[in-house]
């Protein structure tokens, strides 16, 4: 019962955490619009192409089936009306020397089948138009043109949905956690990102926004105050060479919003760090954006990512994705202020502190590795 209770509490906490996010871990925006004027809904009809491309697949399939089926049925009714007007139907008992508008269209079912064969250009040969009725000639031209338009429109929507840039973004993944640790003489917040395809992302740029609620000196409360967060790799922050997983760093200096946070106050602070990666797919030349977010409970103070890139004896570079989401504790200052202003940095170690009263012994076990 206690295990079930803990699992239920964890589930409720995770559910609450997902609800409070503006951007989910997979990049979707958790926002809804209310009190929209009815007239503005017509804007979606004016921009009908984007509306059709963005709707869900289930509705696209319904529209696909309905557009063809209804067009076949409507034109089938028109062919039935032409045959009835000309006296071609069976119940009208046409004479033996009667000239039909369409051969073998003698009822509603045969009229529907002829409409389907005409629009899909099947042409089994059992039913065919004759030159006796000018109205029938005009109708077959109209149906052929309209059928081509429907084919082009529906094929365009399906191809556009398949090739959406956000599908390419599914093969770019971020680490589940962010870490804070010293690096190259600075205290840095680090995240890891990987491109799961071998094709490159050209012109990749990464940046972040810190979202939090603030109060101005005038007493105004800003629900979603945005602060720019700069990320960089060792070679810079623009035009990343995104051929292998990268570890991105944000330097926590006096201009950083993380400067006033500490290891014991980080998880009590309310904010959301949204990270963006923009780039152009090498294979399709389409621009895409990948998003994810980190809340305070997903930032680990005093940890560092394990290396994942190695070189084999054959000279090839190998990426070990088993270590992509693993971190190891490192000695880290208690706060950014301590790191920059107090000599010795007052390192905060997860491994504990030395105690002269105990005997020194050798420990052969590997360092404790924590999986995120």
For position 145, what pLDDT does the model report? 96
- Helix spans in 86-220 (H): 108-119, 134-162, 165-169
Tokens of 40: 């503005």
pTM, 2 dp: 0.70
pLDDT in tens, 63-108: 999 999 999 999 999 999 999 999 999 888 888 888 899 999 999 9
Q: Which residues contact 309 (CB under 8 A, 6 or more apart)?
A: 244, 245, 317, 318, 319, 320
Instruction: Give residue 353's pLDDT band: very low, low, confident or very high (50, 70, 90).
Output: very low
For position 350, what pLDDT does the model report? 44
pLDDT in tens, 316-346: 888 888 888 889 999 888 888 788 776 554 4
Place of tokens 């956000």: 166
CA distance 87 to 257: 84
For position 15, what pLDDT does the model report? 59
For position 317, what pLDDT does the model report? 84
CA distance 298 to 23: 14
For the residues 259-266, what does the mean pLDDT come to? 88
pLDDT in tens, 169-213: 788 889 999 999 998 888 999 999 998 888 888 888 889 999 988
- Nearest Cα neighbor of 190 from 256, 262, 248, 109 is 248
CA distance 287 to 166: 9
Contact 346, 264 (CB under 8 A): no
Tokens of 335: 């706060």
What are the boundaries of each domain within the chain? 43-163, 167-341
Report the CATH number of the 167-341 domain: 2.60.40.1400
Partnered with residue 287 across adjacent β-strands are 280
**Counting every residue, how long is the chain?**
372
For the chain, what percent of residues have pLDDT higher than 70?
A: 85
Q: Which residues of 207-232 are buried (b: 16+ CB within 10 A; e: fewer)?
A: bbbbbbeeeeeeeeeeeebeeebebb
For 92, the 3-state DSSP assignment is helix
Domain range 43-163, CATH class = mainly alpha
- Nearest Cα neighbor of 106 from 130, 133, 86 is 86
For position 40, what pLDDT does the model report? 62
């Amino acid at each position: 019962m206690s295990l079930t209770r803990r699992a239920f509490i964890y589930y409720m906490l995770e559910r609450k955490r997902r609800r409070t996010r503006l951007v989910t871990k997979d990049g979707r925006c958790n926002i809804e619009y209310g009190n929209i004027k009815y007239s503005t809904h017509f804007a979606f009809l004016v921009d009908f192409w984007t509306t059709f491309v963005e709707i869900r697949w289930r509705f696209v399939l319904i529209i696909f089936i309905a557009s063809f089926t209804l067009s076949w049925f409507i034109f089938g009714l028109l062919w039935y009306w032409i045959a009835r007007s000309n006296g071609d139907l069976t119940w009208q008992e046409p004479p033996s020397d009667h000239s039909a508008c369409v051969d073998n269209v003698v009822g509603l079912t045969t009229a529907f089948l002829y409409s389907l064969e005409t629009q899909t250009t099947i042409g089994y040969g059992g039913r065919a138009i004759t030159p006796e009725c000018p109205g029938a000639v005009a109708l077959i031209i109209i149906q052929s043109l309209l059928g081509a338009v429907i084919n082009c429109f529906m094929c365009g929507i399906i191809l556009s949905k398949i090739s959406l840039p956000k599908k390419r973004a599914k093969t770019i993944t971020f680490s589940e956690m962010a870490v804070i640790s010293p690096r190259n003489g600075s205290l840095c917040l680090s995240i890891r990102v990987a491109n799961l395809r071998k094709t490159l992302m050209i012109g990749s740029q990464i940046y972040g926004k810190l979202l939090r609620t603030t109060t101005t000196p005038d007493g105004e409360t800003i629900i979603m105050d945005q602060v720019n967060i700069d990320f960089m790799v060792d070679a810079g922050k623009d035009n990343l060479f995104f051929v292998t997983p990268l570890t991105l760093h944000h330097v926590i200096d006096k201009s950083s919003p993380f400067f006033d946070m500490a290891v014991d106050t980080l998880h009590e602070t309310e904010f959301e760090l949204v990270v963006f990666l923009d780039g152009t797919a090498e294979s399709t030349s389409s621009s895409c954006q990948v998003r994810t977010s980190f809340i305070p409970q997903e930032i680990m103070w005093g940890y560092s990512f394990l290396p994942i890139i190695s070189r084999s004896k054959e000279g090839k570079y190998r990426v070990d994705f088993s270590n992509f989401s693993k971190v190891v504790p490192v000695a880290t200052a208690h706060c950014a202020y301590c790191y920059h202003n107090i000599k010795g940095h007052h390192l905060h170690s997860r491994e504990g502190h030395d105690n002269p009263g105990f005997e020194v012994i050798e420990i052969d076990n590997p360092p404790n590795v924590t999986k995120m």
